[in-house]
Amino acid sequence: WPAGEPTAAERPTPSLPRVGVACILLWLGIALICWPSDVAAAATGPLRFATEDGRRIGDRQVVNVRAGTALSKGSGPGGYVAPPLSLPPARSGAGSQALRQAPSRHISRAAFDRAAFDLRLSGPLPSVRDQGRYGTCWAFAALASLESCAGDVAHLDLSENNLVNRAGFRLRFGQGGNSRMATACLARWDGPVLEGDDRYARPGASPDGLPARLRLREVLFLPPRRGAADNAAIKWAVLTHGAVDCSMYWDEYCYRPGRASYYYDGVGLNHDVTCVGWDDRYPASSFVERPPGDGAFLVRNSWGRRFGDGGYFWVSYHDTAFAGDAAVFAEAERPGRYSAVYGHDDLGWIDSAGFDDAPGCAWFAARHVAGASGALAAVSFYTPVAGARYEVYAGPSLEHLSASPLAEGSIELPGFHTVDLRERPAVQSGRPFVVAVMLRTPGFLRPVAVERSWPGYAAAATSPGQSYVSADGRHWVDVGRERPAADVCLKAYTVNVQPPATPPTVVVDSLRIAGGRGARIAFHVAHAAPRTTARVTLRLVTPTGRTVRRATLRAVPTGARRTWRPAGRLPAGRYRVIVRAVDAQGDRQLGAVRTTVRVTPRAR
């Protein structure tokens, strides 16, 4: 970390009268004697969770489907289980405006106004899969989105079996899940792996050590739809990124097999699918029960190709449950950008935390010990609302964070995000380092995503001294002490840094040439590493650049004195002696040693 850089604790504060300063210091001295070490909690008020504020998705009567339970006669299993915390609805006007201004990698903004779109026609989609009798639709939907969005990186068939087995939650194979569970698993670099390495379905049987084929960088959580006309988010995500993981409620009596169409006007969520298109003119007359208007989403299921139209079907815009929980696995890349990931939040975003006296703004930090020397290159974290603003800091401790942010900006949509740092501070093997984020979340009281234990859903493994939250970036609450079984969701990524080159240097100790006779050149190799050897090349060159004598001495030890005697007599004239060394690691001497000598005729 830069020496002499002012710390967060050294930031200027308003001046006070001397008497006031003395009183404050006296009060603080008494407080430090009487209060426990985690007094910071009292300075910022108690840390609170959003689920304690009544913002649970369960308040919307979400239905959980368990393994092997048919949704209704003749249909396949579901498998969607709601996360404990719902995504807050988008602020008025924030959703559509942000989406239309967001850049698209594949299409022009004019495409947002098209009446119909089918992702299958813009490029091949992975084949439709079959979840069989297990409640694993969530894994099929998540990986279908990832495979679609990462299609320009690698055309892969990813293993749902591996994702379900290694998710790490308290739900057993086939008991269900959701996109946040998939995000948490992939964000900690636990997969994805190829289907050929871990085939479906083998409950509980996924081997360790399989190579991950992608590294997850970003997942966008789309706000819940607020009506039949609120489709901009899903359309934007399909056009910009690819297939969208969407929850729904499946009831066989709402499905019309002959038209492969579906319309449900109740509440609840029990199944996960992927949206791959839409048609604003899809007729309302095509459904079992006529919805109030035309329009439908094109949806891919995970019940095999015999279901619907080759595995696809249409869901009415007026369906009241569709996309109640929606996500697009927007960005992934092949491994290699980073060398290591550090995180305490293996189970990802389960709840949100904050302080009553600092609504919509909080700091959160994670302390790690470097497993290898390198440089801090990026961080990842979750944002709960559109338009969140962030600043990233780092340092060897909470008391010595960088005075200025290493990265800053705003993020248009909620989700999991990876942010690269514009400056890369060094980390040393075996030494602690801290990353911290200041996050502002307009309209959302609890900004900080946290992993925590939840009955029947998650059992978080946490410890004091690794996660911290603050209202002001100065007074920190140790989450592990204040609220056991909880950690902030904040990961750090490092890169290996090549050690600086230490090239050898040849020192010419003496140079003697007898008149009309041969030469004798004594030298030794100097090197920062005392036990290194080097290959030394020596040349005698005429003023015109012609080499008249050359020699290469291999494995010359550092400090050892060597002598070169060029063969034969040398004609009278001027010569340059050029000497260069290369050590065993391939580091070359920065500049050759050049010494000019004059050979005179032999005296008679």
User: Which residue in 183, 273, 275 sits closest to 238, CA to CA?
Assistant: 275
Contact between 439 and 361 (Cβ < 8 Å): yes
H helices of 472-597, in order, are: 479-482
- CA dist 440 and 62 (Å) reads 29
Q: How confident is the model at residue 4 (pLDDT cuts 50, 70, 90)?
A: very low
Longest Cα–Cα distance of the chain, Å, equals: 122
Could you tell me the pLDDT band of residue 558, with boundaries at 50, 70 and 90? confident
Q: What is the dihedral of CA 107, 112, 116, 118, to 10 degrees?
A: 40
Cβ of 54: how many Cβ atoms within 10 Å?
8
Question: What mean pLDDT is predicted for residues 11-25?
Answer: 41
Q: Once rounded to an integer, what is the mean pLDDT over residues 265-286? A: 97
User: What is the sign, positive or negative, of the torsion defined by CA atoms of 172, 174, 180, 186?
Assistant: positive
Question: Binning pLDDT at 50, 70 and 90, where does residue 91 land?
Answer: low
Tokens of 157: 């068939």
Closest CA to 67 of 129, 158, 131: 131
Positive or negative: CA dihedral 116, 120, 123, 129: positive
Q: Distance (Å, rounded) from C-alpha 164 to C-alpha 28?
A: 52
Coil, helix or strand at residue 471: coil
Residue 395 CA to residue 363 CA, distance in Å, equals 15
Average pLDDT, integer, range 507-532: 70
The number of C-alpha atoms within 13 Å of 79 and in the hemisphere containing its C-beta is 34
CB 541 within 8 A of CB 570: no
Sorted by sequence, the CB contacts under 8 Å of residue 34 that are 6+ apart come out as none
| pLDDT (tens digit per residue) in 178-217 | 999 999 999 999 999 999 999 998 998 899 999 999 999 9
Give the strand order in the sheet containing 573-583.
547-557, 533-541, 573-583, 593-599
Burial degree of 277 (CB within 10 A; 0-12, 13-18, 19+): buried
> Which pLDDT does position 1 carry in this prediction?
54
Rg for the chain, CA atoms, rounded: 33
Return the structure tokens found at 288: 């079992």
| CA distances, 76 to each of 103, 133, 134, 141, 378 (Å) | 38, 7, 9, 15, 42
Q: Sorting pLDDT into bands at 50, 70 and 90, what band is 567?
A: confident
User: Which whole number is the average pLDDT over 418-429?
Assistant: 95
Is the Cβ–Cβ distance between 236 and 261 less than 8 Å?
no
Triad 448, 449, 451: Cα angle to 5° = 130
Residue 364's SS3 state is: strand
Q: Which two tokens stand for residue 183?
A: 């995000």
Q: pLDDT at position 482, please? A: 87
Neighbours of 31 (CB within 10 A): 12
Cα end-to-end distance, the chain, whole Å:
70
Q: If 0-12 CB within 10 Å is exposed, 13-18 middle and 19+ buried, where does residue 10 land?
A: exposed
Which stretch of DSSP H or E encloses residue 148?
helix 137-149
pLDDT of the residue at 62: 31
pLDDT tens for 56-66 read 433 332 333 33
| Amino acid, res. 552 | T
User: What's the pLDDT score for residue 515?
Assistant: 55
Q: 598: which strand partners?
A: 574
- How would residue 43 be classed by pLDDT, with cut points 50, 70 and 90? very low
pLDDT at 2: 40
- Asked if 313 and 307 touch (Cβ cutoff 8 Å), the reply is yes
Q: Say what the alpha-carbon torsion angle 302, 308, 314, 320 is, to the nearest 10 degrees.
A: -60
Region 343-358 average pLDDT: 92
Inter-axis angle of helices 232-240 and 94-101, nearest 10 = 20
Pairing of strands 573-583, 593-599: antiparallel
Cβ-contact 290, 238 below 8 angstroms: no
pLDDT greater at residue 527 or residue 139: 139
Structural element, H or E, at residue 86: none
Domains and CATH numbers, the chain: 39-50+336-495 (2.60.120), 69-84+110-330 (3.90.70.10), 505-599 (2.60.40.3880)
CA distance 332 to 213: 10
CA dihedral 441, 442, 445, 447 (to 10 degrees): 0
* 40 three-state secondary structure: helix
145 vs 41, 299, 312, CA distance in Å?
41, 12, 15
Average pLDDT, the chain: 83
Q: Are 375 and 492 in contact (CB under 8 A)?
A: no
